[in-house]
Structure 1
């Protein structure tokens, strides 16, 4: 039975999008936890709270895409700041958040470059200062390492199937449901440029 399960796992491929999503979600949850600490009546704390709330997308951006030289005016900082400068500021707020951000970025870069040995090392090396949210995600990743390794080796993904499912859900939602399943099936097939099927077929 164990050999059957292990052989099944060896054939699995986890979609790389979901690997990235799991890590970025953990990072975002850590940001929210830190942000809520600054949700006080103190005016200085409120400024930090607003910054963490306003620049959440920047924190989830790939570190390699940040700029040191493109300075722009940011109202919350009352001056010119580069995207990397904003991230560097956030890194000074909390050790746990900094460690969580750095590890999340390293995982995303290893995934981007399909460097499985580095990815595996990052998952399995103990990181005492990262957030509980990311630690939970690391346990999940470590549990599915065999399938993750396959996603690094092969180009296959369930992204196309996910797109089909999403389109079917949209069709169902905008039509407020179908009484007749044959009509619903025909509408889906028409949406994917297939020939209509007769109701009795």
Structure 2
């Protein structure tokens, strides 16, 4: 028996954890998926999904969502919808209709109202303040208005091998009224076939909708490819093609899951995602773009746990330190933070370089400061295949907190394999083969183009 859920971006953990409890109790992928996405939609501090999502240029929150059942191919979606508390629930209901499965604008809101779904103003005070700040900036400066477009995409597999997929987003911040991205579009934003697998996307919708890469990924998995290899063959050639014709492709990120539990990702930007399988805890991964084989770093999760521990010690949620650590968390995972170019930082209300912002966050916390330095140093050594430096960093590490201590202890325990792995690019990341159980590798061949490469990596780890 294999059960699993994967979600795009760190926020997915909010929903995956309770939804996995449903799956472990024998629940269906259909219900668990909606449970997971509703939890994200309801959380008011996620700025690109549901209640609290950032509004369009008129100051109104418009949402897109979709739901698809891999057993029946039934799907439902809404686009440009207003005042719907849980767009994913309405999308699921639409999937059961014999027609009119994709509704837009007032049509979606009217349907939700007549079917008894909760309606409310989706604009929070916090999101309204950000909109006003952005509006004033655009009036006084020549800035790009478009940002904040992280769709939550979820995929689910239950014990009966049923698979589902769903998406939900408030779309681009400051978008034009009525703008719709890829999230409600089958084939582009999502696709599922329970006999094969499932894929979903997040990124710049205007680019993602140019090809049905979610469908293509599922089709390729159906030929026997692993999830990682299917994504590699589907996604990166298209990005390259856009580049060659001068399209300057923007953000492309995908997650995919096969029916046997094998999963993979593809991305051309730094990308976080959450994964839970069987009885294991929900794991948050950070992927770095690296051609057509992104690096997935478990060490980054230890760093992020240290950051969260520091946040819990801060009583003043409006302080500069809190603002530096909470909404700007992605900066702490940059391999080479910018120390020269200043950018305006919302919440802190100052123009700061990446490094200045990081310093504000880590300086009051010695353990976090040391964990950050450790993370960056090891990351740099890995990226540059500096085996001797990597060995010294692991051997001379000094305790700075339980999450990082555990991560480093794992590296020390498998030091020979770590150093071997740091010199090869056979899998999705130089540490991936160390941190995942060989049993899991045998089950899914995760991250490898074929079984021969999987056994070659196992030999390196134990040689």
Check whether TM > 0.5.
Answer: yes
Which of 403, 414, 418 is equivalent to 1:133?
A: 403
Which of 146, 158, 162 is equivalent to 2:446?
A: 162
Q: Does 1:33 align with 2:314?
A: no
The change in CA–CA distance for 1:16 and 1:103 in structure 2 (over 3 A counts) is: farther
Question: Aligned-pair distance for 1:83?
Answer: 1.1
Give 1:149's aligned residue.
419
Worse overlay, 23-32 or 119-128:
119-128
Q: Does 1:84 align with 2:355?
A: yes
Give 1:96's aligned residue.
367
Give 1:23's aligned residue.
299
Which of 72, 81, 85 is equivalent to 2:343?
A: 72
Question: What are the superposed Cα offsets for residues 154-182 of structure 1, whole Å, 9 maximum, x if unpaired?
Answer: 332267x53689xxxxxxxxxxxxxxxxx
Greater fraction strand: 2
Question: Aligned-pair distance for 1:27?
Answer: 0.2
Question: What are the superposed Cα offsets for residues 88-108 of structure 1, whole Å, 9 maximum, x if unpaired?
Answer: 212312111101100111000
Question: Aligned-pair distance for 1:53?
Answer: 1.2
* Residue aligned with 2:340, SS: coil
Question: Aligned-pair distance for 1:68?
Answer: 2.2
- Compute the RMSD of aligned alpha carbons: 2.7
The change in CA–CA distance for 1:80 and 1:113 in structure 2 (over 3 A counts) is: same
Question: What are the superposed Cα offsets for residues 116-175 of structure 1, whole Å, 9 maximum, x if unpaired?
Answer: 1111111111413x121101111101111122122123332267x53689xxxxxxxxxx
**Contact 2:339/2:353 (8 A) holds in 1:** yes
The change in CA–CA distance for 1:71 and 1:144 in structure 2 (over 3 A counts) is: same
Task: Give TM-score scaled by structure 2 length.
Answer: 0.29
- Specify every segment of 5 or more residues in structure 2 that has no aligned partner in the other structure, as ranges: 1-292, 430-444, 450-463
Greater fraction helix: 1
Task: Give TM-score scaled by structure 1 length.
Answer: 0.63
Greater RCO (Cα-Cα under 8 Å, separation 6 or more): 1
**Contact 1:73/1:80 (8 A) holds in 2:** yes
Give 2:221's aligned residue.
none
Which of 89, 98, 106 is equivalent to 2:377?
A: 106
Give 1:173's aligned residue.
none
Number of residue pairs aligned between Structure 1 and Structure 2: 143
